[in-house]
Amino acid sequence: MNFDFDKMMVLARDNPDEFERQRIMLLDELIQSRRDIARANAFQSHIDMERIKAKNPLACCFRLYSIMWGSFLKMDEQLQKLLQTQRRLCGVDPPGENNASQPGEATVLMFKKR
């Protein structure tokens, strides 16, 4: 895939139809290079629908930003579950015990004044 940001920026400004044609071609090339083509196509369809529903480019940006953060938070949630399971299985974080490694808790250390 050969992506030239400056070229695409000029096309978007001067020739929106050609920009859209190039955008679709680049996306299709990227999707076809993936192992999970069906999933990538479904995700791109979701993005395209959000672009259509948006009333203006800024609204589109906010919609896609929300999708991105939603995906990131789901991924982080799964990672935290995996790490919690790993700690429990390795004996670092026994189940049922409250210790500083759990989110929202900390051990406060007291230091003497100098």
Binned average pLDDT, 10 residues per bin, the chain of 114 residues: 91 96 95 95 95 95 96 95 90 58 73 83
Q: Do 80 and 103 meet the contact criterion of CB atoms below 8 Å apart? A: yes
Q: Do 47 and 30 meet the contact criterion of CB atoms below 8 Å apart? A: no
Tokens for 49? 């629908």
Nearest to 93, CA basis, from 109, 108, 105: 105
Angle at which helices 16-32 and 5-14 cross, to 10° = 140
Taking the whole predicted model, whether its pTM rises above 0.85 is answered as no
